[in-house]
Amino acid sequence: MELFELIEDAVAIVRYPKGVFKQTKVYRRGGRHYLPHAGGFIRITAKFGDTWGTSHPDIKVQEMEGVS
């Protein structure tokens, strides 16, 4: 079983619905990257223009640092 592993130096700026921005930690599981959300995790998907999509249709990642 693969668990969610905190990427120590990684950080993301996330845009939530209604223009709310939040700085959050980034996690790794099975070669994919995730963000904590509502007691669980959402997966970061492909980059579209200046933002990355997520597995939640209303949440976008504006910026990320420390993720390889």
Give residue 49's pLDDT: 95
Nearest partner of 24 among 33, 15, 34, 35, judged by Cα: 35
Total structural domains within the chain: 1
Range of the domain at 54: 5-65
Residues 41, 49: Cα–Cα separation, whole Å? 23
Can you name the residues that pair with 41 across neighbouring β-strands?
36
> 60-65 and 32-37 as β-strands: parallel, antiparallel, unpaired?
unpaired
Quote the distance between the C-alpha of residue 53 and its chain's center. Answer: 9
pLDDT by residue, tens only, the chain of 68 residues: 999 999 999 999 999 999 999 999 999 999 999 999 999 999 999 999 999 999 999 999 999 999 97
Instruction: Output the pTM of the full model.
Output: 0.92
pLDDT at 68: 77
Instruction: Judge contact between 54 and 61, C-beta under 8 A.
Output: yes
Q: What is the pLDDT of residue 56?
A: 97
